Chain A
Amino acid sequence: MTDTAQRRTVAKVAVHPVQAPPPAGDRRRRRLADQARAYGFLVGGLVCFALFSWYPAIRAVVIAFQKYTPGGEPEWVGTANFTRVFADPEFTAAWRNTLTFTLLALLIGFAIPFVLALVLNELRHAKAFFRVVVYLPVMIPPVVSALLWKWFYDPGTGLANEALRFLHLPTSNWSNGADTALVSLVIVATWANMGGTVLIYLAALQAIPGELYEAAELDGANVLQRVRHVTIPQTRFVILMLMLLQIIATMQVFTEPFVITGGGPENATVTVLYLIYKYAFLYNDFGGACALSVMLLVLLGAFSSVYLRLTRTEGESA
């Protein structure tokens, strides 16, 4: 502390010496002033949360039971929105596609990053190169990734079929074929998002104590047995967390189907969120959109609460 600052402090203390507690009225006034100040700091954040998180969450539930047009008088319709949405053939398609997408994303997008992290953790050279390169697609805007892959998937001139031809394999319709479109989108999503998963696994692998591997090796365990009995149990928690996060994230998929396939062909890639978008902005049916939103909200809210509970208990025990 500089001299002048010190002197100033001393002067302050001299002017306001610590004395007996002020009378009760004063104390209450000071408490109120403290509260006012605290809420002064809080108010901006509170207003934003109230307007854009809490209120919309309540409103989604309310509108799900209303006939709602912006600017018009809302009208209570009971469960009519739900029955109308249920009867829509796209509803079944959207849920089936979303669940299939999530399942495929778990199969494709889960094993690959784990194996990749396992390999990267053993490599002792060019570590920075691997980390930067695997994360590069994550930094490319999702819209650009989607447009890039749409171009790759082009049945005539696309790079994907060119690669198959180069390897003397039969070509595919990729995102243009009803039976291959969903898988094609999963590949895009995996390519674009894998970097984060790999880096998280790498961090988890580095936290495994080396003695465990040493002990396993002394007991005669080969590499695969070490993976099975040391690596996987030691990273079990991270695997579970990422799995939950991935389920929550992939069930909200929108950009890839919207940009690459437009939901087609034959509704093969219409997802729940895409359907919500269609109800709101194509059919102008906000009641139906909110009914769908509430369904998604309940299902994913359940996954999220499991996730939060697990991270909290694990965080406390660790």
Chain B
Amino acid sequence: MSTRTLLSPAALARPRGKAAYWTVFTGTVLLFVIAFLFPVYWMVTGAMKSADEVARTPPTLVPERWQVSGYTDAWDLMQLPTHLWNTVVQAAGAWLFQLVFCTAAAYALSKLRPAFGNVILGGILATLMVPAQALVVPKYLTVADLGLLNDPVAIWLPAVANAFNLYLLKRFFDQLPRDVLEAAEMDGAGRLRTLWSIVLPMSRPVLGVVSIFALVAVWQDFLWPLMVFSDTDKQPISVALVQLSQNIPLTVLIAAMVIASIPMVAMFLAFQRHIIAGIGAGSTKG
């Protein structure tokens, strides 16, 4: 299916139009390869060069001798298994807590008519106006008071206070037809039962979106874990990379950077259709 865009199909069909089209097309492909793929290639192969080859001018486009020692050294020297595992624990917990608490709260606000529900929703939406990073210092002090420093709970619980995801869920639940839920209640299903066996199965798309948002947010965050985890053994990979970047050979650091990128890039490639569609749809609907 192709709809009319800036250029008419007729103009593109003419020989001159065709030539111009393929020129622009080739130029754009080249631009994308150089601007977005080449840096990634440079990173992946840079880690496979020897220490003096990576520092050489002019640089070599292809490693003279491919070696994986950069990757294995990064794995051992930088204790990547520990930091990767920390990141996984932090991301998985944030995801789970967000799904459980945000879904429950959104369901209550949407369907259970709690007293002061509108006031609570207003309070939640008001936090959208507060730039997250401007609150990191008082948030840090609260986490410190609760004795949660160097504890993954310090990532998990603040992640629940995500007005955007909660509102996304509430809006979705609002659209679910009332009579389906009422029918379930007539059948004697309790609130929890209705949520579990009626609402959640119908909400798979929005739960997928919230899950991706939650995982990406934790994996990509830097400032908050930098503040919360002073204990090196508890740090996620993003913080560890920066802390260790000073005293480590360049090839090893680059290898660690590649390894740190793999999980999110892999997830993106696996779910790219959904992720890309979500970005477009979410924006035009506002």
Is A108 interfacial (CB-CB < 8 Å)? no
A152 to B101, CA, bound (A): 43
A133 to B269, CA, bound (A): 10
Give B200 Cβ to nearest chain A Cβ, in Å: 13
Quick one: closest B residue to A288, CB to CB?
A: B137
Give B157 Cβ to nearest chain A Cβ, in Å: 5
Contacts of A44 in B (CB 8 A): 100-101, 104-105, 160
Interface residues on B, range: 35 or more
Q: Which of B129, B166, B223, B245 contacts A304 (CB 8 A)?
A: B129
Whether B142 contacts A35 by the Cβ 8 Å rule is no
A70 to B166, CA, bound (A): 32
Q: For chain A residues 263-318, which have a beta carbon within 8 Å of chain B? A: 273, 276-277, 280-281, 286, 289-290, 293-294, 296-297, 300-301, 304-305, 308, 311, 314-315, 318
Whether B227 contacts A281 by the Cβ 8 Å rule is yes
Contacts of B105 in A (CB 8 A): 41-42, 44-46
Known: A122-B5, A136-B40, A304-B130. A191 touches B35 (CB 8 A): yes
Whether A213 contacts B6 by the Cβ 8 Å rule is yes
Whether A119 contacts B28 by the Cβ 8 Å rule is yes
Interface locus among B70-78, B111-119, B174-182, B201-209: B111-119
Give A272 Cβ to nearest chain B Cβ, in Å: 9
Whether A54 contacts B260 by the Cβ 8 Å rule is no
- Give 1 or 0 for each of B121-155: 1 = CB within 8 Å of chain A CB: 00111011111111111111110111000000000
Whether B124 contacts A49 by the Cβ 8 Å rule is yes
A277 to B49, CA, bound (A): 37
Is B238 interfacial (CB-CB < 8 Å)? yes
A236 to B280, CA, bound (A): 16
Is B232 interfacial (CB-CB < 8 Å)? no
Give B42 Cβ to nearest chain A Cβ, in Å: 7
Known: A38-B108, A49-B123, A255-B223. A210 touches B158 (CB 8 A): no
SS class of chain B's interface: helix, strand, loop or mixed?
helix
A203 to B275, CA, bound (A): 13
Contacts of A68 in B (CB 8 A): 141
Whether A231 contacts B6 by the Cβ 8 Å rule is yes
Whether A226 contacts B6 by the Cβ 8 Å rule is yes
Q: How many pairs, one residue from A and one from B, have CB atoms within 8 Å of each other in the complex?
A: 312
- Give 1 or 0 for each of B32-59: 1 = CB within 8 Å of chain A CB: 1101110110110010000000111111
Is B68 interfacial (CB-CB < 8 Å)? no
Whether B102 contacts A200 by the Cβ 8 Å rule is no
The residues of A with any CB-CB pair to B shorter than 8 Å are: 8-9, 12-13, 34-35, 37-39, 41-42, 44-46, 48-49, 51-57, 59-60, 63, 68, 70, 118-126, 129-137, 139-144, 147-148, 151-152, 156-157, 159, 162, 165, 191, 196, 199-200, 202-208, 210-211, 213-214, 217, 223, 226-227, 230-231, 238, 241, 248, 251-252, 254-255, 258-259, 273, 276-277, 280-281, 286, 289-290, 293-294, 296-297, 300-301, 304-305, 308, 311, 314-315, 318
A132-B268, A141-B264, A196-B279 known, 19 other contacts, Cβ within 8 Å: A45-B106, A49-B160, A52-B139, A56-B141, A68-B141, A136-B37, A147-B242, A157-B57, A191-B39, A199-B279, A203-B284, A210-B3, A230-B6, A241-B283, A252-B132, A255-B223, A258-B242, A276-B137, A304-B129
